[in-house]
Structure 1
């Protein structure tokens, strides 16, 4: 199988999804040739810097701006049309790559390349099957385009929502978002906690804000210190060096009846998720999926307006998480730690939504789409 995976570096989630897809294809089809393209950077590094830089800056300085844009683009046809024209101008710069690599299938893990590949197919520039993997728990119109051969979604609720936008149900697949196969490896909880100087007999909270370390992590951490329960706290700051430096004064210290351990960027998130009893996080699509795979209940804070708010709604509706407001963090966490049955019920619910076989299911679907396309080409000849 020859596959091109098109992603965009808007945060780490889309790129992590692309890496996960690549690993699953190679795992299930060892003779495959798979490449990942950072789409905007490939087309024009300057445009990538402007577009992605502006996106990340808006998330850090004023997330509400992104939320308003999310809402407007869902309902405002004019803005969607501007985006389509912008993408169309850039799209054809992908053709030399596609022609040279000659893929059997193309996969998109971000709305921009989904739209670009759709344009190529509409313009009859390619007949290669196209798969779009939606990396959140609710759809947005930016993902929905003609001539996409398959949409992969995280949950069954999304099927009706997407089909209401004119997409046939039989090309929408509730396979789940693929995660790195590393998340399917089981680690010993006691051993992991002992490795970092924590006790396997004390409730463990894991606080993180994705690879960028976004959200009010420090404030949440300080609120947890006020909880009247014997706890231990792991904080993963990701690539946020300022946050890491600010929190290092708490590393391996005991404050009241709470021991803390601070970690910067790590590729062992799976180990720490499996060693924890509750994840406190902003509700990014990939982080949610990874937590579900690890059967880890969540407490949500600082959702990015728009997509992450929709993710939070899904988790809360299905009792997979609780929501933390600025004024109730300690109260909610204290209550949850005392309600063993509630945590247990959340874990049971997670089993119904976790999709550990997403990667394998996707690999099988890709094979089917390739075979179908080859058969159609032969019938035409």
Structure 2
């Protein structure tokens, strides 16, 4: 690429946060999609970490601890703040975080547009007349199936959402239909062009003749009762195999490994840490058991996997789970025995398996969300440039 071509490309700034993997993965997926469409001028910044490193670390730990040890507290906070407005006392405080930093970043980077994959709207909440770096549009990519009002701000020019239901909900809050694009949730490369084959089975050490239950414990490996779930599934089904993804929780992986080292059916349990090419593992699986994060659920939908959600904690993940269950695309289970029975009923019944996949198909998109978002944003920037050039 010639140097002059590079600098003629629009420059995009993507702001994310590290509260869970979804916001980071969405940011990277959009960056990759922009590059696939020939635009390489994208800057990713964790605004909270850059502007308030100490507060960021403290709140991330609080999020993880309350989420796993005090889920009722986390759910209460989520519920209480869900209807808040951008100009409420608490909403204004949240959106004020990072203002000084974003001013410096904007002055340095001078982007043509800013994309948010986390609702920290320090830039939109600034008084635009005081800015020395122009007035670039701000876009929001909502990474859940539930709408928290923290995502809603009058200075967001365009929203990218997972479903038509979210678009309608934004409409009821006064957001114009033309300002909302139903794109799906951005996923990493591979989910729209991978097909199961023997090479992938060999790569993960799985038997293509056996049904595979993909059990994802979350990036931090926090799903409860994993040992009991694995033991029950292995004992109840004579040929089922389990692919257990422990994420970055090495302690969980070693604990499960020790527990099943001498188990009579332990050879059918396959343990993995964090799997970068998760789309490949999903492509050879029969069912998915997971925490209901927006990105992981979207991955399961894209892969056409019947989704089983175990004990969703209150907050956005429970809302995600309830929404997908209402569409027939997921089953929520609260006891190990219930989950095991639900899984086996689908695996043993081709008609139920087919029906579940049909519900998933209704939520799929023909184009990947990241590609759709990247194309839409580049088109809007180009249209703006063309309009400016004619004035």
- Per the TM superposition, whether the score is higher than 0.5 is yes
Which of 291, 295, 298 pairs up with 2:304? Answer: 295
Residue in 2 aligned with 1:366?
377
Which of 32, 52, 55 pairs up with 2:63? Answer: 55
Residue in 1 aligned with 2:137?
129
Label 1:336 to 1:252 Cα distance change in 2 as closer, same or farther (>3 A).
Answer: farther
What aligned pairs does 1:287-366 form with structure 2 within 5 A after superposition?
287-326=296-335, 327-355=337-365, 356-366=367-377
1:10-61 deviation digits (Å, cap 9, x = unpaired)? 011110111101100111124x311110111111211211222211221121
Question: Which whole-Å CA distance do the structure 2 matches of 1:198 and 1:254 have between them?
Answer: 18
Task: Give the unaligned 5+ runs of structure 2.
Answer: 1-9
> Partner of 2:98: helix, strand, or coil?
helix
8 Å CA contact 2:85, 2:152 repeated in 1: no
Q: Alpha carbon RMSD of aligned pairs, Å? A: 2.3
Residue in 2 aligned with 1:117?
123
- Is 1:35 aligned to residue 32 of structure 2? no
Shift of 1:293: 1.5
Question: Which whole-Å CA distance do the structure 2 matches of 1:150 and 1:121 have between them?
Answer: 19
Residue in 2 aligned with 1:106?
114
> Partner of 1:128: helix, strand, or coil?
coil
8 Å CA contact 1:229, 1:334 repeated in 2: no
Question: Which whole-Å CA distance do the structure 1 matches of 2:12 and 2:261 have between them?
Answer: 45
Deviating more after overlay: 44-53 vs 364-373:
364-373
Label 1:352 to 1:346 Cα distance change in 2 as closer, same or farther (>3 A).
Answer: same
Question: Which whole-Å CA distance do the structure 2 matches of 1:84 and 1:123 have between them?
Answer: 18
Shift of 1:155: 0.8
Shift of 1:89: 5.2
Residue in 2 aligned with 1:277?
286
Which of 247, 255, 259 pairs up with 1:238? Answer: 247
1:264-300 deviation digits (Å, cap 9, x = unpaired)? 1221211111110000101110101111121111111
- TM-score, normalised to structure 2, is 0.90
1:193-248 deviation digits (Å, cap 9, x = unpaired)? 23343311111100012211122133432332342442011100001121111111
Deviating more after overlay: 357-366 vs 156-165:
357-366
What aligned pairs does 1:171-186 form with structure 2 within 5 A after superposition?
171-186=179-194
Question: Which whole-Å CA distance do the structure 2 matches of 1:187 and 1:268 have between them?
Answer: 13
Question: Which whole-Å CA distance do the structure 2 matches of 1:155 and 1:253 have between them?
Answer: 46
Label 1:121 to 1:371 Cα distance change in 2 as closer, same or farther (>3 A).
Answer: farther
Corresponding pairs, count: 377
Task: Give the unaligned 5+ runs of structure 1.
Answer: none
Question: Which whole-Å CA distance do the structure 2 matches of 1:34 and 1:120 have between them?
Answer: 22
Question: Which whole-Å CA distance do the structure 1 matches of 2:222 and 2:127 have between them?
Answer: 37
Shift of 1:128: 0.4
Label 1:84 to 1:123 Cα distance change in 2 as closer, same or farther (>3 A).
Answer: farther
Which of 144, 151, 166 pairs up with 1:158? Answer: 166
Shift of 1:374: 3.0
8 Å CA contact 2:97, 2:122 repeated in 1: no
